Amino acid sequence: MLYSFFRFALLFVLAVGPWMNSAASAQPTAAQFLQWLTHYTNNDIRADYNYDNIVSPADFSAFIINYDNPPQPPQPTDGWTDLNPSGNSRVIYVSSSQGNDNNDGLSQSRPVKSIEKAYDLLRDGQPDWIRLRRGDTWYESLPNWKKSGKSYAEPMVVSYYGESTNRPRLLTGTTRGMRATGDEVRKHLRFVGFELRPHLRTRDDAPGGIEFICEHEDILIEDCLISGYADNLQFQGDSDRRARDIRVRRNIITDSWAVGRHSQGLYATRVDNMFLEQNIFDHNGWNDREEGAEPTIFNHNIYIQATCSGIQVLDNIISNASSHGVQMRSGGVVVGNFFYKNAINVLLGHEDYVTTGAVNGNVIMAGKDIGPGLPRGMGIHIQFTNDAKVRDNLILRNGTDAGQSEAIAIIGDSNDLVQNLLIERNTIYNWFNNVVIENEGLRNMTFRNNIIYDSQNESPAVRHWTTSTLDDVNAYNNTYFIGGTSSWFRAHNSYYNLNQWVNVADESSPRTFSGRSFVDDSRTLVRYAQNLLLPADDDIVIDRARTMSRSTWDESYTAEKIVEYFKEGYKLAN
């Protein structure tokens, strides 16, 4: 270690000495060198000035060049994408409070002021970075984005720096947050850790948040807060040049609205391979403070068009949508999400294109109506699919008793069949309408090991709109209880008790709830809030989730923990 000290001290003098008195080329001070040497001799990652996550002798020559751009303090990476500049990166620092566009932007001590200037300094096709100072506010948008990164391993990044726990804020007035259009493909881009809001928007404006309307690939949006646009996120390829490999992770996507047009939290069309993971999608598609922006049937938290493929919606909080929590017209995977106060929580399928997919392991609570004259309160809708799976979902405590509020509805017709459907290990608790098979378009459904419990509504556990679908269901090992009536099942206009149903529907080994109980079926979102020492308010958990960022992330306000809490309570104790 002593040898290393003297060796690097000599190298420092030889490398820096000739320029110490030169104003033309700034150099590290002796104090900065001694600080670096201390980090180096202690194998401290803060000596890593070539940013390769390894402390090595090569960091000395990198320090001589990059001394004014110290490595970012180590951050917890659990659940977050690990991003670091490469040796080829140009890093541009931007501060609205401390910057000047006459600076070169190449260090935290010489930031530029405007995002527009920073963008001009990025090199197309290179792994360059813009770092926005946390806690600062800009009254400008991101530019019309025409640049790409170098590769998947060396992307172009818009991120942050600084010690504040507040995201950089971009207040975009009446205009969009960012748009990418044109003929050139945009690829290898990362947008991380900032806030976008149209703070001067009126009812006459309809700006988008982040919009890719072109061929694009390998896009990451993570830890951003995007709120108040007509469409907060939009990904559109075209028929010849599709979009692909999109990842939207741990963002807060809220409060989209529009007057006289449709509005979505996220909209995607002609996209292949999209992951929506651990986000909060809340209150998108409507604004109760603007006349004409009331909830409609056309506006959703997540709207995936039939032209997409390879869509996965994993471990999100999806709440308070105008209409659908997630409309998966393309089919795909919907797993581990917490749905709350949506008019229709999940739609899987399309009326014109056969699709497939899986709706597994979600908790769906407290359905609602869209508005007066638009009753909904629906759980899972399946239409025009082949080989779809609905497994291990918990659908409980509906918030409306409207006549259309089915927990699971199979919607097919003679032209658009639902075929080879598996529904197993789901629990439906006090939802109102339970399992409804509409029309005649069902062929070969397996319905097994489900629990349907309703102590409040006297609605059938299973209802067939027509008797012609009875032979298309293979049902066994299900558990039923409907309070206040013995008419637990319905086919067309006839009602049946359990013994009659066994003969009519040829169901095998059904069980009643006699002698059985749930572990704790008093669990509600109010109880969950109280367990976190919060007030007894059924909205406060979602409200807290909306405030999270990487700096303040709390697993208690994630879908994973909420789903775990309810599933533990609503499993059978015996």
Per-residue pLDDT in tens (0 to 9) along the chain, 574 residues: 445 555 555 555 445 454 444 443 457 777 777 777 877 876 767 788 887 777 888 888 788 777 766 765 444 457 899 999 999 999 999 999 999 999 999 999 999 999 999 999 999 999 999 999 999 999 999 999 999 999 999 999 999 999 999 999 999 999 999 999 999 999 999 999 999 999 999 999 999 999 999 999 999 999 999 999 999 999 999 888 999 999 999 999 999 999 999 999 999 999 999 999 999 999 999 999 999 999 999 999 999 999 999 999 999 999 999 999 999 999 999 999 999 999 999 999 988 889 999 999 999 999 998 988 888 899 999 999 999 999 999 999 887 776 678 999 999 877 889 999 999 999 999 998 999 999 888 999 999 999 999 998 889 999 999 999 999 999 999 999 999 899 999 999 999 999 999 999 999 999 999 889 999 999 999 999 999 999 999 999 999 999 999 999 999 999 999 999 999 999 999 8
Rounded (5°) CA angle 456-457-461: 110
pLDDT at 76: 44
pLDDT at 77: 56
The closest alpha carbon to 444, from 472, 469, 466, 468, belongs to 472
Cα-based distances in Å from 443 to 26, 327, 422: 76, 23, 11
Cα-based distances in Å from 34 to 22, 40, 41, 108, 202: 21, 10, 10, 20, 56
Contact 348, 334 (CB under 8 A): yes
Helix, strand, coil share of the chain (percent; to 5): 15, 35, 50
The neighbour count for residue 465, using CB atoms within 10 Å, is 16
Using DSSP's 3-state secondary structure scheme, residue 550 falls into helix
Rounded CA gap, 525 and 527, in Å?
Answer: 5
Rounded (5°) CA angle 438-442-444: 140
Contact 407, 353 (CB under 8 A): no
Using DSSP's 3-state secondary structure scheme, residue 113 falls into coil
Using DSSP's 3-state secondary structure scheme, residue 567 falls into helix
Q: Which residues contact 447 (CB under 8 A, 6 or more apart)?
A: 423, 424, 435, 462, 473, 474, 475, 476, 478
The closest alpha carbon to 127, from 155, 101, 146, 147, belongs to 155
User: Residue 70 carries which side chain, given as an amino acid letter?
Assistant: P
Chain centroid offset of residue 552 CA: 17
Tell me the pairing of strands 129-133 and 169-171: unpaired
User: Residue 300 carries which side chain, given as an amino acid letter?
Assistant: H
Q: Which residues contact 432 (CB under 8 A, 6 or more apart)?
A: 377, 398, 400, 401, 402, 405, 407, 454, 457, 459
Rounded CA gap, 341 and 321, in Å?
Answer: 7
Q: Quickly count helices (H) and strands (E) in the chain.
A: 8, 41
